[in-house]
Amino acid sequence: MEDLPKKILKISIVCLLLSFFIALFTLYVLLNQIDATAGMSQRLDRIEAKLKDKKAF
């Protein structure tokens, strides 16, 4: 019976670590999406500026 609390503790620690790594991965994906969106916005601004320059001539 003394092994049961130790097993429960080990299982809970493993679940905690697993959920922590899943949260880190989710944060990584979210930051990558934000970075990609910012990059697309910058590229779009450059394209719009080039189009405005071409229309001026």
C-alpha to C-alpha distance for 34 and 11, rounded to whole angstroms? 35
Residue 45 clears pLDDT 80, i.e. is over it: yes
**Residue 50 C-alpha from the chain's centroid:** 32
Beta-carbon neighbour count of residue 45 at 10 Å?
10
pLDDT at 56 over 80: no
Q: Residue ranges of the domains in the chain?
A: 19-57
pLDDT in tens, 9-29: 999 999 999 999 999 999 999
Which residue, chain included where needed, has tokens 């979210």? 30
pTM of the model as a whole: 0.69
Task: Give the separation between CA 57 and CA 31, rounded to whole angstroms.
Answer: 40
